Amino acid sequence: MLSCKNVAHLASDYLDKNMSGTLPWKVRLHLAACSCCRRFVKHLKITKDVVPQLIDNNLSEADAETILKKIKARD
Amino acid sequence: MTKSPPPNYTDEQQLIVALIAGDDRAFCEIITRFQNTMMAIARAICGDTFADDVVQDAWVAIHKNIGKFEQRSSLKTWVMTIVSNEAKARLRRESRKVSLDELDGETPGSYLDNAQFTQTGHRTAATQTWHIESPEQLLEEKQLQRCINKTLSILPPAQKAAFLLRDIEQQSFDEICEILQVSAANVRVLIHRARLTLMQVIDRYQETGTC
């Protein structure tokens, strides 16, 4: 049976379905028996779903125009 | 530059057509969308010193070659591949070795720290309870948003690049391996560690209401 430490290391692979063979089943078996790891994986899933929506990864329009001017000056 | 209301490029094909036609607003649009992720890729591959130059060289190459874009990949993948190639070429020219050193060891206090587990791998303490678990409610928390963006800005470069490429830009694991030139196993580790660091921010926020 997997340990909590194993599950902590595998949690993203589990959520991303990046596992093969019997490993997903082993994780599920551990989660069925361990409420701490269930909560840990649940929180990681919330993080994975929510954080991308909280991140502002776009540049401002003014900064983009400055960069375009630099590019054109080098063309 | 024309100051009429900017078109809404929600359709990639419409954006590509405008780019190929030499539309400056379309080019500003892709700079707005991709600049930060491109900087993260360049920093991850060749370090802070050269990242600015590399990204600017990549933009010049994109501007020059956009007319030849054959759409064999998405525009995003094409752009990310160009900055990745520029960064790798720069690294070779400078004959420097930049290791993805954040792959080594665990950050003390992280969820994967050995101190969090007994010798048999059981948790030494219960996982914290969150009083806000609803995604809708979490999205309303402006202070949390500031904390997340602040933490993202200080993530180790390779973790940040892998995280942005996967969870923000939705690139496939294979594409990320190619762009960052790391193995699939390492990409997975980088993404996992970035997510755990960001999860720790939410943990702390739930407990203290601050970063």
Q: Output the pLDDT for position B105.
A: 53
Residues of chain B found within 8 Å of residue A58, distances taken between Cβ atoms? 32-33, 36
Where do we find the tokens 């997903």? Answer: A24
Amino acid at B74: S
More confident residue, A1 or B63: B63
The first and second tokens of residue B92, run together, are 């070779």
Q: Are the beta carbons of B135 and A50 closer than 8 angstroms? A: yes
Predicted pLDDT of residue B99: 52
CB distance B167 to B191 below 8 Å: yes
- Residue B100 confidence class, pLDDT cut points 50, 70, 90: low
| Token digits of residue B36 | 């930060």
Q: What dihedral angle (degrees, nearest 10) is formed by the CA atoms of B174, B175, B176, B178?
A: 90
The minimal CB distance from B121 to the residues A6, A52, A70 is found for A6
Min Cα separation B195/chain A (Å): 7
Domain ranges of chain B: 12-94, 102-208
Chain A residues within 8 angstroms (CB to CB) of chain B = 3-6, 8-9, 11-13, 16, 18, 36-37, 39-40, 42-44, 46-61, 63-65, 67-68, 70-72, 74-75
Q: Give the length of chain B.
A: 211
Which residue in chain B has the smallest CA separation from A12?
B192
**How many CB atoms sit inside 10 A of residue B195's CB?**
24
The answer to whether residue B108 scores a pLDDT higher than 90 is: no
Query: Each residue of A5-64: pLDDT tens digit?
Result: 999 999 999 999 999 999 999 999 999 999 999 999 999 999 999 999 999 999 999 999
Residues of B in contact with A50 (CB under 8 A): 135, 138-139, 202
Chain A contact set for B148 (CB, 8 A): 51, 54-55
From chain B, pick out residues whose CB is under 8 angstroms from the CB of A52.
167-168
Q: Domain range for residue A38? A: 4-74
Our count of domains for chain A comes to 1
CB contact under 8 A, A50 and B192: no
B97 pLDDT band, cuts 50/70/90, is low
Min distance B203 CA to chain A CA atoms (Å): 9
pTM of the model: 0.89
Could you tell me which CATH class the domain B102-208 is placed in?
Answer: mainly alpha
pLDDT per residue as tens digits for the range B41-70: 999 999 988 999 999 999 999 999 998 898
Instruction: Compare CB distances from A57 to B133, B164, B192 and report the shortest one's residue.
Output: B164
Output phi, psi for B117, to 5 deg.
-130, 155
Is B12-94 a CATH 3.30.300.30 domain?
A: no
- State how far residue B38 is from chain A, nearest Cα, in angstroms: 11
Q: Which residues contact B86 (CB under 8 A, 6 or more apart)?
A: B42, B54, B55, B57, B58, B61
